[in-house]
Structure 1
Amino acid sequence: MTVAVIDSGIDVDSREFAGRISSKSVDIYQDQTNRGFNDEDGHGTHVSMIAAAARDDYGILGMAWNATVMAIRSDRPGSCTESGPASLSSGCAFEDGKVAEAVNYATNNGAKVINISLSGGAAGTALRSAVQNAVNSGVLVVVASGNDGAAQPSGYATSLDNAAAGGVLVVGSVDENGQISDFSNKAGANGENFLTARGENVCCVYENGAIYQSLGSVFLLNGTSFAAPQVAGAAALLAQAFPSLTGRQIAEILIESATDAGATGRDNVYGEGILNLTKAFEPAGTTSLAGSGQALALTDIVGVGSPAMGDALGATSLSAIVLDKYQRAYNVELGSNLRGAGVAERLYGALVGEQRQAAMSSDVASVAFTIDARGAYGELPRLAALRLPNEDAERARILAARVAYRISPNTQFGFAFAQGADGLVAQLQGQSRPAFMIATSADAGEAGLQRKDMSFAFRRQFKGWGLTAKAESGHVVSRSREKVNGIWGRDQDRSKAQTLGLAVDRAIDNWTISVGAEWLQEERTFLGGRFHDSFGIRGTNTAFLDAEAAWSFARNWRFGASIRNGWSKASAGDSVSAGSQLRSQAWSMDIERWGVFGRDDRLAFRIAQPLRVSSGGLKLELPVSYDYDTLSPVYGIREISLAPEGREIMGEMAWRGAFMRGYAAASVYYRHEPGHYANLPADKGIAFRWSTDF
C-alpha cells in the first residue's frame, strides 16, 4: 500500500526506503523551484521511517515496512531552519493552500493513507475541502494532535477532524508505559476520533541515511509527529491485508480495537485509547461463513459426532474462510471446534432411577407402563388413565408405555409412547430375548442419541411366515463428550427423525430367523451427528439391512446372533457435496441358559459391537480463499472422515431370577475402547439390582 507523507520530503538515498519511494513522489512547489523532494530538514524522513522503514536488520523497523512511501514535499521554499544534526520537530513553514494541493495530489495518485504531522491554527477552506474529498474517496487521513501540552488538539487537527468526521484520526503521544506525554495535546472534545500511540523516546534520529551517534549515544525522537505515523503505518497494514476496506472503516477498526486508557471508555485525555495493532487484525463483530451469510462465531461448536462416530472428530482439520462485520476474510481452522459424542454411561442408565412398572394383559391385549416416581414432574392428564391415588399421581410421570392388541388369530398391532418399535416387534413376534444391563443387540438403533416419541408396529402371520411393519418418530439430541452447553441454542439442539421398517421371520424346527430392512430419515443430522447450520445439512437417508437368528440347540439353551449393516447418504445442497455418505455396522452374539440355580432363573453371555461407522465421511464445499477484486470466495472440497479409530467391543455375563421374595439381576461387564474411543481406558464393573413389591 502507498502511504503519502505530506512533510519536508524524504532522504532519497536512505537504505530504509530502497526501492520503495513512489515514482509519484513530488515537490508540491515544483513549478517554482527545482529543489526536488529530497529532505533538507529531516522531519519528513523521520516521519516516513516510523511509518515504513525497511525490515533490513538495521536501524529501526517501520510499522508498514513493505509499504511504498509517496513523499510530497510541501515546506515553503527557504523556510526551513537547521536545529542540530537532524530536526526533531519541523522548523519549516507550510502554507494551507499548498498542503491542500498535496492532499488532492495524494488522493488522485493512489495513496490509501495520508499522514500529516503538522500543527498550527485552524485549516483554511481549501484544505478542509481537500481532506473531505480524500475521505469520501476512501482515503484515511492521519493528523498529529500537536505538542503544546494543551487540553484540546491543535486548531489545525480539530478543523480537519470536523471537516470529515469518521475519516480523520487525530493522534496524541504516550510514553513506554502508556501514559500521556506531557507535551502531547489531549483529546478534549474530539475524543471520538482521537487515538494515542508511542511518541516519546522513539528510536532514532538519522543523518545521511544512518543512525546518528555522538560520543557513543544515539538521539531519540519526541512528538506527536512521530506518534501519528505509527497509526498511519498500522492503517496501511490493514489496507494491505484487507484491500476492500475504506478509510472510514479502517479508522473505525483502529478505534474499536484500541486499548482503553485513562477513564473507562472514551475520555478527554486519551480519546478512544492506545493503538493496538494485534487486536485490530482480529475479526470484529459477528463472523459468517464466506458466501453463505450464515453466522458462524469462531467460538461456535461446528460439529458434534454421534456415538457411531466415536473419536473420528478428535484430530480433524477443517479450514475455511469466514468474514467479519467489515467483510474482512480470515482463514480459520474449524477442526478444533469439532467434538465427539458423549460416551454412554451404560451402568448409570441401567441402575439409576426410581421407576415402577405397571402391566396388565389378557389373551387379546397387553398394556405396560414405566413410571417415574421421583416427583420431578407432574403430568396429571397422562396419569389419569392409570387410576393412581392422588398422592401417587402427583409424584409420578409416565416415562414410557406400550400397548399390544390381537385383532385376529393371525393379525396383531401395537403402539408405544416414548419407546422404540423394536420392543413392540419382538413382542408381536413372540421372541424371548436375554436381558442384559450393558451389552446391546445389533439392532439397538444407536444411530445417534435418539429419543423416541411414538412408535407403531403391525404383524400378519402367513402359514408359518410372519410379516411385520413398523414406524417410529422421535428426535436426535446433540451432546458432546465434553458436555459443551449452548451449542446451537435451546430451540435447535434436537433434530427430528423418522423410521420405517419391514421384516420377515420364520420358525423352522429349533431355529427362528428374521431378515428386515429399515429406512431412517433425519431432518438435520448425519447418522446422529450434528453439524453447524452454516454447512446447510438438509437431512440424511439411511438404509439398514438386519439379520437375526436364534437356535435352541439343547434343552434350556439358546444361541442368538444379529448383524446390522447401514448405508447413509446426506442430501446435497448448500455446503454439502455429493459423496457425503457412510457405511456402518453393528453385531452381537449371545448364549443363554435358563433354570441354572432355580426353575426360572437365566444366565446369559453376550459379546457385541455397537453401531460404528466403518468408512465414509462428510464432504463440504467450503470457501478456501477470498478474492477481494470480486469480493467473492473461491470454493474447494473439504472432507471430514467420520470413521473412528477406536472400536468398542462389549462383553457381559448377566443373571436374573427370583431372590429373597423379590426379583434380582446381576451383571459382570467389560467394554473395550468404550464409545469407539481408542484412547479411553476400558470400562468394567459389577452391578446388582433387586426389587420387590410391598
Structure 2
Amino acid sequence: MRSLTHPALHRTAAAALALVLAACCLVTGLITAPAARADEWRDKQYWLADSGITKAWEVSKGAGVKVAVIDSGVDAQHPDLKGAVAGGYDASGSGQPDGQKSVGSKPEHGTLVATMLAGRGHQPADKTASPTPGPAGPAPDGIIGVAPEAQILSVSTWLGSPNPSGKSDQDQIPEAVRWAVDNGAKVINISLGSTTPQWPQSWDAAFLYAEQKDVVIVAAAGNRIGGNTQVGAPATIPGVLTVAGLDRSGTASVDASSQGISIGVAAPAQNLLGGLPGGGYAEWAGTSGSTPIVAGVAALIRSKWPSMSAEQVINRIVSTARDAGAPGKDPLYGYGILNAEAALKDDVPEAKSNPLGTIAEWIRVHRRGNLATPTPVPTAEAPVAAPALPEATVPAAEPPSQRDTAIGGAVVIGFALLFVAIIAAAVIQLRRAARDPALKGEELETGALEKVHSVRKP
C-alpha cells in the first residue's frame, strides 16, 4: 500500500476530505419565516425532553467545562451565545485569529452547532434580565443548548471549498485539535466528516495527543444524502464517540445518518433548530446537529464529575443508551439511542478501557508503533506555523495465509490465462471503437446537498 504522501493518493484523500463539512449537514430550503417570537422556536426543541436532557439538567448544566467547536467559526455576537464563547483560534489561515469569523463553504455551520450545544437563549426585547441560565432556568426566548452553562472555544477551519490561504484539511484538522486540547477543552465537537473511512496520517499524532490528554472527541457519522453511505473520517478514528442520526420518530434516519461499525450512539438528526450568524435562526437536519447534542451531554457529565476520565465519560454515555435495532451494538444505532437522564443519574460500572477503542493501539498496529507526541501548537495570542508531524510510514503488510502459499504454481497458470483473456477482450474493444468512433466513456459525479429552512432574525 502506498503512503498518503504519494501525490496520487494525496489528491484522492484531499478530494474525499474536501466534502468534510457538506457531508454532515443536510438541510431543507432557505425561506424567510414570518415575524414570530423566538420562544416559538424554543417550543420546537423536542430533543431536550425526548433525549432526557431536561431531566439531566437536574444534575448538571455543564458549568466549568470548555467545549471546542471545530467548524466554520462561531458568531459570538448571536443573542443566544452572549457570554458563552470563551475564546477561539483560526486554523484556516484566513487572517482572523479568534476563530469567530464565519468561513468556508458553509459559514453558518459553526453557529448552528454552537447554539445547539451551549445556547443560552435570550430575554425578550422588553426584558432586561441576564440571559445566562440560573436557578430560575434559562432565558425564555431563542435556542437553549444541551449544556447551557458550558463555554465554547471556537476553532475555525476552511472546508468544503478552496481555501484562500492554501491550508488543506490535512493541516487544519490536526492543528485545530491540538490547539483545543492545549487551551483547556475537555470535550471537542467535530460536526464534520468525509466520504472515506481513511484519514491522513498527519491526523494520527493530534488525535493521539487528545487521547493522552484525556479529552472526549465527539464526531458526526455523516449523511447518506450527503454522500456518506458509510461512516467517514474522522468518525472512524478509534476512541472517537461517533454519533448517528434519528428521524422524528426516533428511528435511524434514512437521509440524515449513515452506518458503520464505529458508531457509538444515536441522537436526533431531523427537524433541528439552531442559530445563524447575524442573529437569525434556521431549521436544519443531519448528524452535524446530532453531534452537539451528544457533545453537550459529555459536557454535563464532565461538569458533574470533573475527575472522571474521558474513557469513563464515553462509557457512561454508551452504556446507558437505550438499545435499538439489532440486539447489542449494531452499525445503525451503535450501542443505542442517547438517554441523557440515565447518563447523569444511573449507577454505571467503571470500564477498563474506552469501549470505542484507542488510537494509540491502532497506531501501534498499523503505523509500526510510531507514537511520537507532536509539539503543542501555540496559543492564539502568538500564532505561528503548525509544528511538524511525524513522517508518514507504510503500514505493515499482512502475512500471507496458508491458502495463499498452498496454491503456488496454480496461481502462475491462472494469471497466464487471465492475461490472454484480457488481451483478447482489448482487441474486441478496439475493433468496436474502430467501427463506432462515437463511443465515449461515462463520467460519474458525486455531490452533497445542503439547504437551510425557516430563517428568522429576532
Q: TM-score, normalised by structure 2?
A: 0.53
| 1:490-505 paired onto structure 2 within 5 Å | none
| 1:140-539 paired onto structure 2 within 5 Å | 140-148=216-224, 150=228, 152-158=230-236, 160=237, 162=238, 165=239, 168-191=240-263, 194-204=264-274, 206-211=276-281, 219-285=282-348, 325=350
Distance 1:5 1:47 in 2: 8
**Partner in structure 2 of residue 135 of structure 1:** 211
How far the C-alpha of 1:282 sits from its partner, in A, is 1.7
Q: Is contact 1:196-1:274 (8 Å) kept?
A: yes
> Which protein has greater RCO, CA pairs closer than 8 Å, 6+ apart?
2
How far the C-alpha of 1:197 sits from its partner, in A, is 0.5
Q: Between Structure 1 and Structure 2, which shows a larger proportion of strand residues?
A: 1
Gapped regions of structure 1 (runs ≥ 5): 82-92, 212-218, 287-324, 327-694
How far the C-alpha of 1:10 sits from its partner, in A, is 0.6
Q: Between Structure 1 and Structure 2, which shows a larger proportion of helix residues?
A: 2
1:60 aligns with 2:134: no
Bigger radius of gyration = 1
Query: Aligned in 2, Cα 1:28/1:77: closer, same or farther, shift over 3 Å?
Result: farther
Amino acid at match of 1:15: P
Distance 1:285 1:60 in 2: 31
Q: Is contact 2:243-2:266 (8 Å) kept?
A: yes
1:5 aligns with 2:69: yes
Give secondary structure in 2 for the equivalent of 1:188. Answer: coil
**Partner in structure 2 of residue 125 of structure 1:** 201
Amino acid at match of 1:197: A
Amino acid at match of 1:208: G
**Partner in structure 1 of residue 392 of structure 2:** none
Give secondary structure in 2 for the equivalent of 1:197. Answer: strand
Q: TM-score, normalised by structure 1?
A: 0.36
Give secondary structure in 1 for the equivalent of 2:193. Answer: coil
Query: Aligned in 2, Cα 1:146/1:264: closer, same or farther, shift over 3 Å?
Result: same
Aligned counterpart for 2:110 among listed residues 35, 40, 44: 44
Distance 2:97 2:68 in 1: 19
1:113 aligns with 2:226: no
Amino acid at match of 2:115: M
Distance 1:29 1:77 in 2: 12
**Partner in structure 1 of residue 86 of structure 2:** 22
Distance 2:303 2:325 in 1: 31
Distance 2:160 2:322 in 1: 41
Distance 1:131 1:225 in 2: 20
1:97 aligns with 2:171: yes
Distance 1:19 1:204 in 2: 17
Identity %, equivalent residues: 31
Distance 1:80 1:173 in 2: 29
Give secondary structure in 2 for the equivalent of 1:230. Answer: helix
Distance 2:212 2:118 in 1: 25
Q: Between Structure 1 and Structure 2, how many residues are aligned?
A: 261
How far the C-alpha of 1:80 sits from its partner, in A, is 7.8
* Between 244-253 and 14-23, the greater mean CA deviation after superposition: 14-23
Q: Is contact 1:135-1:248 (8 Å) kept?
A: no
Q: Is contact 1:152-1:189 (8 Å) kept?
A: no
Distance 2:111 2:208 in 1: 26
How far the C-alpha of 1:123 sits from its partner, in A, is 1.8
**Partner in structure 2 of residue 71 of structure 1:** 154
Distance 1:12 1:60 in 2: 14
How far the C-alpha of 1:36 sits from its partner, in A, is 4.7
Distance 1:257 1:78 in 2: 39
Distance 2:257 2:276 in 1: 26
Q: Is contact 1:259-1:276 (8 Å) kept?
A: yes
Distance 1:47 1:170 in 2: 16
Give secondary structure in 2 for the equivalent of 1:131. Answer: helix
Deviations 1:324-353 (A, max 9, x none): x58xxxxxxxxxxxxxxxxxxxxxxxxxxx
Deviations 1:449-507 (A, max 9, x none): xxxxxxxxxxxxxxxxxxxxxxxxxxxxxxxxxxxxxxxxxxxxxxxxxxxxxxxxxxx
Distance 2:191 2:92 in 1: 19
Deviations 1:421-454 (A, max 9, x none): xxxxxxxxxxxxxxxxxxxxxxxxxxxxxxxxxx
Give secondary structure in 2 for the equivalent of 1:59. Answer: strand
Give secondary structure in 1 for the equivalent of 2:235. Answer: helix
Amino acid at match of 2:262: N
Amino acid at match of 1:72: V
CA RMSD, Structure 1 to Structure 2 (Å): 2.5
Distance 2:327 2:96 in 1: 52
Gapped regions of structure 2 (runs ≥ 5): 1-64, 121-137, 352-458
Amino acid at match of 2:171: G
Distance 2:336 2:321 in 1: 5
